[in-house]
Amino acid sequence: MTYSRFILLSIRNFIFHTKPKLRFLSTVRPIYYESVSQHANNVALIDHSSSYTYGQLYSVARKLSRRLVPLCQQQQKSTDDTLDKTSVQLGVLCPNDASFIVAMWASWMVGATVVPLSLQHPPASLAYFLNDAKCRGVIVGDDRGNDLMKTTLENNSQIDIPVVNINKKNLSTKVTPEDINDDLLLSTTIDRSERSNALIIYTSGTSGKPKGCVLTFDAVQAHVDSMVKAWRWTKDDVILHVLPLHHVHGLINALLTPLFIGARIIMLPHFDASKSWEHLVQPGFDKHITVFTAVPTIYSKLIYDYDAKLVSRPQTRDFVREQCSQMIRLMMCGSAALPESIYRRWYEISGHSLLERYGMTECGMALTNPLDGERIPGTVGRPMPGVVVRIVRENTMSPTGYETLVEADSDNTKVEIKNTDEPIEGELLIQSPTLFKEYWRKRNETRATFTVDGSFFKTGDICRYDPEKNVFSIRGRQSMDIIKRAGYKISALDIERILLEHKDILECSVVGIDDSALGQKIVAIIVPKSLNNITNLTIDTIRQYSKQYLPNYSLPDSIIIIDHIPRNAMGKVNKKELARLAV
């Protein structure tokens, strides 16, 4: 530890213990203090317009934070008894560039909770998020954000909050680690702790109305620490960022984790297959991409672009595979189930077996395939460091309301069912320091999503443990992906995996529809690869094909052909909406 840091910590600790109401922002250090103080002049981000050092981003964030102080000093006017009157929420409506980091850091500097918003959200959705989160203001990063907020405020008279624009003129300012340490000592003094709220991230709304998941600084830090350990992040890593910033995958996995460790981020304004390929196979500036993480839809589009432009050139194919396999150390996939056909094709192209993992907004990353060792398609490996998982079935006599079938952490697995080599299936429960604090202003919903004793989070997902392979796999949501037909419980995801192997099917989604005779019938909603082959896709041909791989009770009862399956920014399908097509 350097002498200057020792002095800084000594002064900080003295203030904490002698004046509890006059505290320096204790949330700064765990999130970005180390990387900023140690790597001030190293490049943190390269976006569509320029490159920025850690010190430059921090300096502009400090300037912005001074403009946010008045918003945080306003009295919260509300009769809602579920609302913490001392809390301050600020919306961040910025593009995928430096402005987002600046807005996020500045908000934390003044003790505000960040509510990430998307430029892809329509005004009605933005109004819902801003009103539900009780935001005191919105930080915007470009003209698109200004225009969108203008329309949102004009259409919703009940929302009257200021819009704060980011001034990027000073991003070229150079700062030293000493400047940053001095600046931290002069920071705004507020009464906050690491258990304070850091983020309110709204769920995708694929299984109901979006809910705001409150993540504390402790939870965010635990999330980052777990990923650094599991996937061995270092300051020498360079990640290509192509994901939205209002979900956990793009925000915590792909942004906060590399920022915390002092790594470099190359961020595209939005996903573009051709530009992504350029970055993946060619060095950018002085460093090559070492980490890439995306959703199955993105990998599908990358494969499509590759097949359209590169597959006919043997030398180019060899170059792409060589660059990806030798220069990129880790390629990951998550946020939705990864079809095995994409897994196999991506390996052929890049030489990488995609590392699939499992997580949710409420719990962060919970299960992961190994960084080293075999990755089995269709599985999500084992628990992340610090995470305990259980596979359970309901039991009202138990203190938790469940009977535990399997319990595991990253090192050990305990199977409660004796003398079985068969896969064990049940609901997935999670215990982890990464768990969310609550659903914002929804006490009953929060309470309902934990076990009776409050010790485990109920994911609502069906999970299978394979004793022979010692791995876990996700079978689908209890509510939408488990179809109860003629007395059988059938995984919609199993049927989807089979149908996606059909030579004429590009996309598909399987839903259960209420039926008086069967309980539920199985409906496959299919997107054909070509309209020329649509005559080959009939219920009879699909059932005949599926019989090779599925039992009779799992065969689709009917099919619907459409031109595309609507997905959200993370590639997830809202099956409740999709099921309406089949009624």
Q: Is the pTM of this model over 0.85?
A: no
- Pairing type for strands 355-360 and 364-368 reads antiparallel
**Which tops the pLDDT comparison, 195 or 69?**
69
How distant, in Å, are the alpha carbons of 100, 114, 126, 155, 277 from that of 248?
15, 13, 18, 29, 24
Q: For 272-314, what is each residue's pLDDT tens digit?
A: 999 999 999 987 657 899 999 999 889 999 999 999 887 677 7
Residue 480's pLDDT is what?
78
> How many residues are there in the chain?
583
**DSSP letter for each residue of 100-120:** HHHHHHHHHHTTPEEEE--TT
Weakest mean pLDDT among 167-181, 252-266, 521-535: 167-181
Q: Rounded to an integer, what distance in angstroms lies between the CA atom of residue 408 and that of residue 431?
A: 10
Q: How many Å apart are CA 293 and CA 297, to the nearest integer? A: 12
- Summary mean pLDDT of the chain: 86
Q: Please report which confidence band the pLDDT of residue 21 belongs to, taking 50, 70 and 90 as the band edges.
A: very low
Q: Whole domain around residue 144: which residue ranges?
A: 1-39+53-74+85-193
What pLDDT does 80 receive? 59
Cα(579)–Cα(581) distance, integer angstroms = 5
* 186 CB-contact burial (10 Å; exposed 0-12 / middle 13-18 / buried 19+): exposed
Q: Considering 193, 218, 235, which residue would you say is the last residue of a domain? A: 193
Q: Last residue of some domain: 160, 175, 193? A: 193
Give the pLDDT mean for 74-97. Answer: 76
Q: What is residue 20's predicted lDDT score, i.e. its pLDDT?
A: 33
The reported pLDDT for the residue numbered 207 is: 56
Residue 310's pLDDT is 72
Distance CA 471, CA 493 (A): 18
d(CA 37, CA 554): 58
- 333 found inside a domain: no
Tokens read off for 205? 């709304």
Last residue of a domain, one of 154, 174, 193: 193
Q: Token pair of 179, please?
A: 């400047």
CATH number at residue 538: 3.30.300.30
Do residues 333 and 354 make contact, with C-beta atoms less than 8 angstroms apart? yes
Question: Is the residue at 208 inside a domain?
Answer: no
Q: How far is CA 355 from CA 214, 369, 385, 429, in A?
A: 28, 6, 16, 22
Give how many domains the chain has, as a whole number. Answer: 2
The reply to whether 334 falls in a domain is no
pLDDT > 70? residue 182: no
What whole-number percentage of the chain has pLDDT above 70? 86
Task: Tell me if 211 is assigned to some domain.
Answer: no
Residue 496: what are its φ and ψ, rounded to 5°?
Answer: -60, -40
Where does residue 133 fall: left (phi above 0), alpha (psi -120 to 50 degrees), or beta otherwise?
A: alpha
Residue 1: per-residue pLDDT? 45
Kindly state whether residue 512 falls inside one of the protein's structural domains: yes
Provide CB contacts within 8 A for 533, sequence distance 6+: 504
Domain assignment present for residue 144? The answer is yes
Residue linked to tokens 């300096």: 59
Q: Is 163 exposed, middle or buried (0-12, 13-18, 19+ CB in 10 A)?
A: middle
Mean pLDDT on 485-503? 85
Task: Assign residue 164 the CATH number of its domain.
Answer: 3.40.50
- The runs of H, that is alpha helices, within 520-574 are 539-546
pLDDT given at position 489:
75
Summarize pLDDT for 110-122 with one digit per residue, the tens.
Answer: 999 999 999 988 8
